[in-house]
Amino acid sequence: MIRVRSLTVEFPASAGQMRRVLDQVDLEVAPGELVVLNGVSGSGKTTLLSVVGGLLRPTSGAVEVQGRAVAKLTDTSAAAYRRDTLGFLFQQNYLFDRMSVLDNVALPLVAAGWSPGRIRTRVTETLATVGASAVVDRTIAELSGGERQRCALARALVARPRLLLCDEPTANLDAAGRELLLDLLDERKSSGVTILLATHDPLFDSAPHVDRVVRLEDGRVVTT
Amino acid sequence: MDPRSLANLVAAMLVREREKHLGILILAVVLVFLAASVLLLSGALRHEMELALDGQPDAVVQRMHAGRPVDLPVAWADQFAALPGVSAAQGRVFGRYFQEQNGVYFTVVGIDFFAENVGKELEALVAGLDVREFLDGDRMLVGSRVAGFLERGRYGGVYEFRTPEGDPVPVTVHGTLPEETDLVGADLVLVEIGLARRILGLGPDEATDIALSIPNDTEADAVMARIIGTHFDLRVLLRREMSAGYADSFRLRSGLFLLLGGAVLAAFGLVLFQRYSLITGTDRGQIGVLRATGWSVRQIIVLKTSESLVVGLLAYLIGAVGAVVYVHAAGAPGLMGLFLGFENLGAGAGPLHWIDTDALVLLFLFYLLPFTASVLVPTWRLANLDPVEVLR
């Protein structure tokens, strides 16, 4: 499903210097696997997810998802890849606070050309699966942190992607929310969805449905 | 994208973030209103002046003494009519009448109902008039401003003029000129030509000037030379010179409008700059999220342009309709005064019925396209960055 080869990412630092965030990373994730990326802050977990998700171009190396070289996709193909193949659950959620839950969750479907009727049906279904169907017409600003996280998860799942990328998914959730998330991830995994998840949360170290934990340190894979 | 889904999203973005759009909408409405008012008013007045010029004679002969026009023998009209190139000549009687108590001027114009009037303007003003009734006693047709003045002064339908010798001349108001003629006729008092001579103090054989009809425009210069040759103190004003006079007057006043237009343009530039800056700030995160959730650069540009188009179009409609109402229904109070300062009874004109649609189309293109496009470049620039970079 995912094949990462010699991946290096550098960011401009002060005084014209470059800071290497990922250094020659190699990683393979099979279809249907749930892989946890572990490591301290700054180890490169979020950057790795961003490159796999086509949100960031690498400095060198290659990333293939379902046989497609992600970094070489054209704008339209990259958009279609982000829309149809993967769902991305961001640490900060990145929801539009003033807009309704429906409008937020519907964003990938609008881009995919769905009609308003189909969009509402699919969004309602997806919100039900994450336990947030009651808030469909409320604005994000009116929601609690946990409810927002569920909406963000619904947006990541609404197009029923084959790959789910999660960045610190439990950061804003209470105990019940975390249990629900684990159940959801388990359910997705069971239906064949590949999941790559970056987290500090020790909950995932011992979770039964986690296939592998990959540890990153200073931009390098140290244990798989 | 499904256009209905796109429309729903644009509407949601506009309504949910209305505070963000309201400021720019109000500013754009004010700018469109000002620009449209200036363009509509100047266009309508230019049109009115062109119509007024159409009614002028081909040439006018004045007698000048010490650089000022004086009366001349009306018999010279026959002499000029006999000149090659001149088809008709007519002595005209008109002049300003100062109403001392109120410090206002009327323009008294004499009409010779038994001669063919040279120039269509007078004929147009008295078209449909029952001449027999009008000539039954001393009667007058008055412009709307004169009518208003007489009404306010409670003159009861009869105004008593005074001859230069101080003799009273009571004249009954026969009717009021239609408001469409206000631009040229608001301060007019139209009376029978003999009565005009009495009020203005002209002798029975005198005229204020002589209007000429010169059917072939190429002969106008030759006619002018011949007339100046007959009497040393004559001045001939050709139609094209009157036209230039109108144009000069209009250009002078257009200068004021140009200043106003310049101010509006500068403000519009600031609006565009503000929009350009705004999108690099608050909209930055929005574009990043759209990119991250599978929107292509083209789709984001369509979305942001649609949003901008709706705001711009709404502002244009409100501003332009407001300007049409302000100029064409309300008579542009305030702005009109800049144009009509030459009127004896003060600035003002009746409703201007001719709407300069070309100006509205021009404004539409020069306002709406840049307004809508102002979000294109920053959106395109941001949408082409890596989504992570935009979100960061």
pLDDT band at B1 (very low <50, low <70, confident <90, very high): confident
With pLDDT > 70 as the criterion, what percentage of chain B qualifies? 86
Supply the DSSP symbol for A139: B
One-letter amino acid of B202 = L
ipTM: 0.91
The least confident of B89-98, B123-132, B230-239, B366-375 is B123-132
What's the average model confidence in pLDDT over B295-301? 92
Asked if the Cβ–Cβ distance from B294 to A80 is below 8 Å, we say yes
Distances (CA, A) of A68 to A1, A62, A65, B260: 10, 10, 5, 59
Separation between Cα atoms, residue B302 and residue B175, nearest integer Å: 61
Asked if the Cβ–Cβ distance from B299 to A79 is below 8 Å, we say yes
Nearest chain A CA: its distance from B9 CA (Å): 7
Provide the 10 A C-beta neighbour count for residue B276.
Answer: 14
Q: CA nearest A11: which of B389, B288, B387?
A: B389
Asked if the Cβ–Cβ distance from B294 to A115 is below 8 Å, we say no
Confidence (pLDDT) at A142: 94
Q: Which residues of A touch B (CB under 8 A)?
A: 50, 53, 55-57, 75-76, 78-80, 82-84, 88, 90, 94-96, 98-100, 103, 106-116, 119, 139, 155, 159
What would the pLDDT profile of A2-24 be if each residue is shown by its tens digit? 999 999 999 888 777 888 999 99
Separation between Cα atoms, residue A21 and residue B24, nearest integer Å: 42
Whether the predicted model's global pTM rises above the 0.80 cut: no
Asked if the Cβ–Cβ distance from A110 to B9 is below 8 Å, we say yes
CA dihedral over B304, B309, B314, B316, signed as positive or negative:
positive
Separation between Cα atoms, residue B48 and residue B238, nearest integer Å: 20
Confidence (pLDDT) at B20: 79
Longest Cα pair distance anywhere in chain A, in angstroms? 53
Q: CA nearest B209: which of B120, B112, B89?
A: B89
Confidence (pLDDT) at B342: 44
Question: In A141-204, which ranges are continuous DSSP H helix?
Answer: 145-157, 175-190
Nearest chain A CA: its distance from B23 CA (Å): 17
Confidence (pLDDT) at B249: 63
Nearest chain A CA: its distance from B288 CA (Å): 9
Closest CA in chain A for residue B291: A79
What would the pLDDT profile of B267-289 be if each residue is shown by its tens digit? 778 777 767 765 656 678 888 89
Separation between Cα atoms, residue B168 and residue B161, nearest integer Å: 6
Hey, which residues does A59 pair with through a beta bridge?
none
Separation between Cα atoms, residue A179 and residue A185, nearest integer Å: 10
**Angle B371-B375-B378 (CA atoms, 0-180°, nearest 5)?**
145
Confidence (pLDDT) at B344: 41
What would the pLDDT profile of B356-371 be if each residue is shown by its tens digit? 888 889 888 888 888 8
Separation between Cα atoms, residue B250 and residue A154, nearest integer Å: 66
Nearest chain B CA: its distance from A100 CA (Å): 8
Distances (CA, A) of B353 to B114, B299, B331: 33, 44, 10
CA dihedral over A79, A80, A81, A85, signed as positive or negative:
positive
Distances (CA, A) of B272 to A143, B129, B303: 35, 56, 18
What's the average model confidence in pLDDT over A26-40? 92
Q: Beta-strand (E) ranges in A48-170?
A: 60-65, 68-69, 86-89, 163-167
- Decide if B153 contacts B324 (C-beta within 8 A): no
What would the pLDDT profile of B36-62 be if each residue is shown by its tens digit? 888 888 888 777 777 767 777 888 999
Separation between Cα atoms, residue A116 and residue B10, nearest integer Å: 13
Residue positions counted in chain B: 392
What would the pLDDT profile of B138-197 be if each residue is shown by its tens digit? 999 988 888 888 887 777 788 889 899 989 999 999 988 877 666 667 788 999 999 999
